Amino acid sequence: MNFLETVIRLIILRCDSYLKEKSGEGIDTFEKFPAVGAFMSGLEREDIKHWALVTGEAKEKAGSKGKKNGSGASKKKAGAGSAGGNSPEERYLSLIEMLGGDNVLVSLLDFCLAVFAIPEFDAYLIHHFGYSVNLHLACLLEQENFPGESRVLDALSRAEAICDVDRSVSPLQYATLSIDERVFAYASGDDRLSPRLSDFTELFKAGGENGLHESFVNGELIEKGTKFFKGGGKVLHLCGRGGRRFAAKSVAADINKDFLFLNIADLFTGNKSGAVKELRGALIREARFDGAGICLYGITQHFIGGRDTAGPSDNIRARRDLALLERLLFVPIVAAGIPLILISDAPVILMRSLSDREYSLIELPASYDYEGRTKLWEGLAKLHGLELDAKDYAMKYHLNASEAAGVIKSFLERREGGDEENTLILDAAAEKLITRISIERIEDAEGKDTGRVIYPATRLDDVKVKKEIRAVLDDVVNSVRLSAMILDTWGLRENYPYGRCVSLLLSGPPGTGKTMTANAIAGELGLPLYQINLSSIVDKYIGETEKNLEKAFSYAEKTNTVLFFDEADSLFGTRSQVHDAKDRHANTEVSYLLQRIEAYDGVVIMATNIKGNIDPAFMRRIRYVVNYENPDEALRRAIWAGCLKEGVPHGDIDLDYLAAQFDKFTGSVIKTVFLNACAYAAGRNESLEMLHIVHALKHELEKASSVTFTRDELGKYAYLA
């Protein structure tokens, strides 16, 4: 017979003896309960002696510890179970030690084990005693007087270390106690994770093959967290974005402590309070059985509230949920002596009752500088045996550790043989992740379309501009490409704590190539272009425009996109004298933009039709300014020639005539005319000829003219109209 069976048989035997003593020796307590009676037939005297020897020593040891602690409860830290050994005797003794060696609580444990092993025993108790397992029943068996209120509360609080207690019953000494399958499995020597937790809880094993590699970034922060726990800290709070769980596991490995990782968001469905209470006991017991700490992640803005929540009611709900978590989960875990790691999005104190020595908040950086990104890509490449230009990827992609690792993982699943193909696959994986972070069309919390992300195929050679303008545009591209060398290798970063933004203002009449230039610069750099929808950004309500702009800048910082403000006069306009609240509100928006552009570390392109509309304060902060004019004849000819791609079937096109005759045409108008001419030719199943272009020219002139169109405007090809 194994030891656990002896424990169960003995608690049943004690019930049988108690009933016979009260009702007479002739009573057969098992008459109506054959399963219970059959189970009792295997009890041997040697088993009883072994049980008495084992439990006697354990109770004496636990009781002496309880007296030293002054409360009757053992202060043994998490890990009592796993530290006690793997045999049923050792496991049972560790459970007794968790209960402080209290005889009544040990009897409660025995009752619960018996009911779990032999469900018919529960019916036996109800039939003979009138109730299931409870504190009053254990007191009867241990011949303890009717428990007072303080005894009831203390005993049930300690019993919850192992048992589930139905606290809805009044009075509480009659509250039903039970154990789940994890407790019984643990007592039997089975170390599998509790079924109540296994679907959404991960047990990280600190020793041996734990799957962790060296930390390429955040090493100092991980070391700080390790020192905190080794110095007696209780709650380590990691916040920020990217690499937080890796950092938590690294700390766990450094202190050689297993940790249970649980996504807190999984608890908050339906009855929140009930869900937390139900799993709290299972989670704490699991940590004790495994000798593990607990890491709770997924503490999102939903629990914290703030600017990004929908409204005041959501902030109230968030604070209520956070208070619920602290009271029902965080505090009991800490009270049980279990090391706790909390992971949240925002740096908000989650447990104000603890001192700085007990609670440490560590904020992981939202993004890394060029040097940090380079180390990250170098480390990932070395880890997976890849050949890649870490400096190039550090320049192109401003990803955090978990995002960069996700890109590598996606690449490894799809890579092929050749280096060139693999580079394209890796770039595609990075761009796909960047797209997934936000979605192609960026929307705010209210569902407003604040812009769209474009991956331009246009290059600077496609933009027909004067040599002087092209030289400035080349300078802009080089400023971005070589910024890491200038700021880091040349050591200038500390001289420019702000003002590193590569900003470009494009001014000029409509259709002169400003939007195309913005696309070409992004395409030249291999970066996506985030084209801002100003109608959704600018808001009449005070503070909303700044809030919308912050979202745009934050997204651009995360994904390393080029920010493009088209027709930016409404945002970057001249500040006015303050006559009313409206003027003060508008000036505040301009001031915010000045500060945000100075703090931004990326590329901002602004386009305006009239340069004079831009606030002079902006002009001082803009690094590059390009003034576009309507193209001269040479540029117009180059634009017409650029439209004639190799794939366009065409006859003799008089480019000199087109460039000279239509001196008011901008590049945008020329492209529209050419496209319409191609559509006219294709519709007639013909190659492009002057006939088709003149047809499109006539339509454009009629559209643009406020007076009656005359054929003379077409010059020498008027006969084709």
Q: Is residue 446 part of a domain?
A: no
Q: Is residue 196 part of a domain?
A: no
pLDDT digits (tens, 9 = 90+) for 185-230: 999 888 888 887 877 788 999 987 778 888 888 899 999 999 999 9
Domain of 338: which CATH number?
3.40.50
Same domain as 663, residue 596: no
Same domain as 291, residue 229: yes
> Which of 666, 641, 662, 654 is closest to 714 using CA atoms?
662
Q: Is residue 23 part of a domain?
A: yes
pLDDT band, very low/low/confident/very high, at 419 (cuts 50, 70, 90): low
Average pLDDT over residues 461-475: 89
Same domain as 551, residue 429: no
Same domain as 207, residue 178: no
Task: Give the number of domains in the chain.
Answer: 5
List the beta strands (DSSP E) in 208-280: 235-239, 259-263
pLDDT band, very low/low/confident/very high, at 520 (cuts 50, 70, 90): very high
pTM listed for this prediction: 0.63
Residue 692 vs residue 453, higher pLDDT: 692
List the beta strands (DSSP E) in 476-611: 502-507, 529-532, 562-565, 603-608
Average pLDDT over residues 593-603: 79
How confident is the model at residue 472, as a pLDDT? 92
Same domain as 164, residue 291: no
Same domain as 472, residue 399: no
> Residue 307: is its pLDDT beyond 50?
no
374-378, 442-446, 569-573, 712-716: segment of lowest average pLDDT: 442-446
**Residue 441 class from Cβ within 10 Å (0-12 exposed, 13-18 middle, 19+ buried)?**
exposed
Same domain as 76, residue 211: no
Positive or negative, the Cα torsion across 202, 208, 209, 212? positive
Q: Is residue 285 part of a domain?
A: yes
From 606, 627, 648, the end of a domain falls on 627
From 315, 338, 363, the end of a domain falls on 363
Q: Is residue 105 part of a domain?
A: yes
> Residue 82: is its pLDDT beyond 50?
no
Same domain as 264, residue 170: no
How confident is the model at residue 81, as a pLDDT? 42
How confident is the model at residue 71, as a pLDDT? 37
How confident is the model at residue 705, as a pLDDT? 67
From 438, 465, 496, the end of a domain falls on 438
Q: Is residue 194 part of a domain?
A: no
4-8, 51-55, 120-124, 190-194: segment of lowest average pLDDT: 51-55
Burial 121-145 (b: 16+ CB within 10 A, else e): bbbbbeebbeebbbbbbbbbbeebe
How far CA 466 is from CA of 58, 217, 423, 461, 671, in Å, comes to 92, 45, 35, 12, 18
* Domain, as residue range, for 258: 201-363
Same domain as 705, residue 569: no
pLDDT band, very low/low/confident/very high, at 433 (cuts 50, 70, 90): low
pLDDT digits (tens, 9 = 90+) for 580-596: 444 444 455 666 777 78
Please list, in sequence order, all residues whose beta carbon lies within 8 angstroms of the beta carbon of residue 13, skipping any fewer than 6 positions away: 40, 43
Domain of 574: which CATH number?
3.40.50.300
* Highest mean pLDDT pick, 398-407, 574-583, 645-654: 645-654
How confident is the model at residue 273, as a pLDDT? 56
How confident is the model at residue 602, as a pLDDT? 85
pLDDT digits (tens, 9 = 90+) for 165-181: 888 888 999 999 999 89
